Chains A and B, each alone.
Chain A
Amino acid sequence: MFQRKKECIAMLLAGGQGSRLYVLTQDTAKPAVPFGGKYRIIDFPLSNCINSGIDTVGVLTQYQPLELNDYIGNGQPWDLNRNWGGAHVLPPYTQSKTESWYKGTANAIYQNIAFVDRYNPEYVVILGGDHIYKMDYSKMLQFHKEKGAECTIAVMPVSMEEATRMGIMSTDENSAVIDFEEKPKQPKSNLASMGIYIFTWSVLRQYLIADEADPTSENDFGKNIIPNFLKDKRPMFAYSFEGYWKDVGTLDSLWDANMDLLDPKDPINMRDPSFRIYARNYSAPATRLGSGAKVTNSFVAEGCTIRGCVEHSVLYTGCQIEEGAVITGAVIMPNTIVRRGANVSYCIVGEQCVVEEGAKIGEHPENFLDGDWGIAVVGHQRTIAAGSVVKPKEIV
């Protein structure tokens, strides 16, 4: 009897609450947060998978999964609708003896061992749904095989200051990981874990079972599984990634990453036709600009109607900017309406908002002198009343 087999499948941890995105993740999981005009954060890891030749992806959801489930559907937008394999949404479920949420990242995979076993893979890629980046996982897998690794961790050089907030690796001259510390006060190296792992499945399977049996464990990859691999001197290597990689877990970094799209050098390399980022598309007509519209240095998705002035901004699908409205340095999420004379600057405005006439959101840092400046944020489906003001750094 021969069992069908996939060489490599991916498990995408998409249960993150994203509490540091505050109002933007109030009713939705972080990976479902809109990004870059027509995308959602999860489009990046999903597209990376298909562009790396991985056609089986388990998407582990937990927090507010409705929007995410609906978005992923049968995986067709990412070419992940397969008869054998494809995209599968894996929520936590009730078992005969226990009934539990995913306790940690490792536990989430542990609870889905049966799913992974169905594909009998050699290797499993573990991914997060919190970052904007383009990466060919097949190159990392090649590295994993060449090194004879049982675990490969993607790493990236960061500044020493950032290093204190991340998982930091020390490696030998052969890229083998010799030390790993979560959020060290005195970092020994500047190589940060990107939260992207490739494991040899048979080995990870044992460690997950052992980890589950350990009552003191937090069932987390960074805190438990990786240290255990290190302790047991398992062959574990660091794979250096060069390229754009940005955490969009905070409001500031989400705004920053959107602004990176306006860089003429295109650091994310969005336009590469051989490595496209796919997204679920809605049937919106092409964007319309009215007489008197003025749009410069902006990234605008389809279905918008623009009659006002837009500069240094990212407009998502289906926004309407009325005459006399001024949009500067703003990230405006899908189907939001900005009425006449409103002034929207240096802010993030959520989906389906209405900014009424003459309202003012955010301010240019140079014009704001009283107090601490920061971007203003408006949550989803809010109405900002006519003439009202949302100050810099304010979140509504």
Chain B
Amino acid sequence: MKMTGIIFSEMYSDALKSFTQDRNMAAIPFGGRYRLVDFVLSNMVNSGILNVGVLAKQHYHSLMDHLGNSQEWDLNRKNGGLQLLPPFATEDANAGGSRGKLDELRNALDYLETISKTPYVLLADAYVLCNIDYRAALADHIASGCDITMLATKEAGDSQGKFVSVMQTDSNHKVTSYALDYPAKPGDYASMGHMIISREFLINVIRDYTARGIYDFTRDFIQHEFNRGRLSINLYEVDTKVLRVRDVNEYFQSSLAILDDDVAAALFRGDRPIHTRVTDEVPAYYGLDCQVERSVIADGCFIDGSVENCVLSRGVKIGKGAKVKNCVIMQGSVVGEGACLENVIVDKWVNISYGAQLRGLDSNPVVIRKGVTV
């Protein structure tokens, strides 16, 4: 494979603060048994990428724990494989923190220069959930002759939120307009935080820009150079379902979106499985009086109550007579007998007491933090 993968694991940590108090954004649980990073990482593996660097700057214990020796992704390789790239601690004032992607990429410099010497690099954000083959994107990049290729989705325009980069193109998918933090109009392309670039070019950019104290990759490199006509951008349109997780509300919507059959079929394909860490839980048990409809249930759950339109992670217990509706419940949490939850996100190892009543709005779910007793 001619391409190395670099994963940015933080991006929206601040907007997802409820979940990222003590975990890295990429390690946020998703879809019953996954973490966000599983999707981009599995896509890389399924596309034949054998060299993957994961950039992490804070709270990366949960991520390290999850990735382990990366054998679930078959990345425990003698040649290549997965490497975690935490901040390079030096006496240099700027080294520890990271203000933008260039600061983070500087931590990957050594990896890109000496370890993973492929002609191309895929820079990918972990907040994007989809199932795609990056080989087609690489072929498109090479054929385009452009400096970089951005992976993007075409927006119908009903989305209210802003995207990091919004692009318009000519008929050859060459980018003609590049806007940052901007809402997309119908027909505009929204970046997926994935781009392909040649390794040598990337190394030069990292060296050159960080030496001058510039840290914002998208604004100060891509947009700046593009606006001056010095950077050509090819756009690779991804037309399969793409979910994003950029704030708590979007996490909630994207989590429940997988209850839709078409979305699930696009995300979970037999030919390109999404891999994750194995936990050896027992299969789920459905009790005598339970009612479960339109839900996703992971291994180890023990269900005695009523569950509708929910995503339950491994080892969740729903007590007798409890009712959960439109909820996302993470690993090991317990909903006590007779409790009633609607539009609630419950983080890991939470204890919802007997008879508790919690109700959020579908546009604004209640979030119960990790380890809390309610």
Whether, in the assembled complex, A118 has its beta carbon less than 8 Å from a beta carbon of chain B, the answer is no
Instruction: Determine the chain A residues whose CB is within 8 A of the CB of B287 once the complex forms.
Output: 264, 296-297
Whether, in the assembled complex, A37 has its beta carbon less than 8 Å from a beta carbon of chain B, the answer is yes
Alpha-carbon distance between A298 and B288 when the two chains are bound, in angstroms: 8
Residue of A nearest to B268 (CB): A285
Contact between B293 and A289 (Cβ–Cβ < 8 Å)?
yes
In chain B, residues 283-329, which have Cβ atoms closer than 8 Å to a Cβ of chain A?
283-299, 311-313
Whether, in the assembled complex, A149 has its beta carbon less than 8 Å from a beta carbon of chain B, the answer is no
B114-154: CB near A (< 8 Å → 1, else 0) gives 00000000000000000000000000000000000000000
Instruction: Determine the chain A residues whose CB is within 8 A of the CB of B286 once the complex forms.
Output: 295-300, 310
Alpha-carbon distance between A276 and B282 when the two chains are bound, in angstroms: 9
Alpha-carbon distance between A301 and B282 when the two chains are bound, in angstroms: 8
Contact between B299 and A38 (Cβ–Cβ < 8 Å)?
yes
Residue of B nearest to A282 (CB): B273
Instruction: Determine the chain A residues whose CB is within 8 A of the CB of B293 once the complex forms.
Output: 289-293
Contact between A293 and B297 (Cβ–Cβ < 8 Å)?
no
Q: Which one, B31, B274, B283, B297, contacts A37 given CB within 8 A?
A: B283
Alpha-carbon distance between A315 and B284 when the two chains are bound, in angstroms: 10
Q: Which one, A262, A281, A298, contacts B278 given CB within 8 A?
A: A281
Whether, in the assembled complex, A237 has its beta carbon less than 8 Å from a beta carbon of chain B, the answer is no
Whether, in the assembled complex, B33 has its beta carbon less than 8 Å from a beta carbon of chain A, the answer is yes
Alpha-carbon distance between A353 and B24 when the two chains are bound, in angstroms: 42
In chain A, residues 228-282, which have Cβ atoms closer than 8 Å to a Cβ of chain B?
261-262, 264, 270-271, 276-279, 281-282
Whether, in the assembled complex, B43 has its beta carbon less than 8 Å from a beta carbon of chain A, the answer is no
Residue of A nearest to B76 (CB): A76
State how many angstroms separate the Cβ of A13 from the closest Cβ of chain B: 25
Whether, in the assembled complex, A82 has its beta carbon less than 8 Å from a beta carbon of chain B, the answer is no
Q: Which one, B275, B282, B298, contacts A286 given CB within 8 A?
A: B298
Contact between B71 and A286 (Cβ–Cβ < 8 Å)?
no
Whether, in the assembled complex, A55 has its beta carbon less than 8 Å from a beta carbon of chain B, the answer is no
State how many angstroms separate the Cβ of A392 from the closest Cβ of chain B: 25
Whether, in the assembled complex, B254 has its beta carbon less than 8 Å from a beta carbon of chain A, the answer is no
In chain B, residues 328-360, which have Cβ atoms closer than 8 Å to a Cβ of chain A?
none
Contact between A270 and B282 (Cβ–Cβ < 8 Å)?
yes
Alpha-carbon distance between A50 and B285 when the two chains are bound, in angstroms: 26
In chain A, residues 13-59, which have Cβ atoms closer than 8 Å to a Cβ of chain B?
36-38
Residues of A whose CB lies within 8 Å of any CB of B are 36-38, 76-77, 261-262, 264, 270-271, 276-279, 281-302, 310, 314-315
Question: Other than the known A283-B275, A296-B288, what 4 A-B pairs have Cβ atoms closer than 8 Å?
Answer: A288-B259, A290-B293, A300-B286, A301-B299
24 residue pairs A–B, Cβ–Cβ below 8 Å: A38-B283, A76-B71, A261-B285, A270-B282, A276-B280, A277-B280, A277-B282, A281-B278, A283-B275, A286-B312, A288-B259, A289-B292, A289-B296, A291-B294, A295-B286, A296-B286, A296-B289, A299-B286, A300-B284, A300-B297, A301-B283, A301-B284, A302-B283, A302-B298
Q: Rank and list the top 3 A-B pairs by shortest CB-CB distance, nearest first.
A: A286-B32, A37-B283, A283-B273
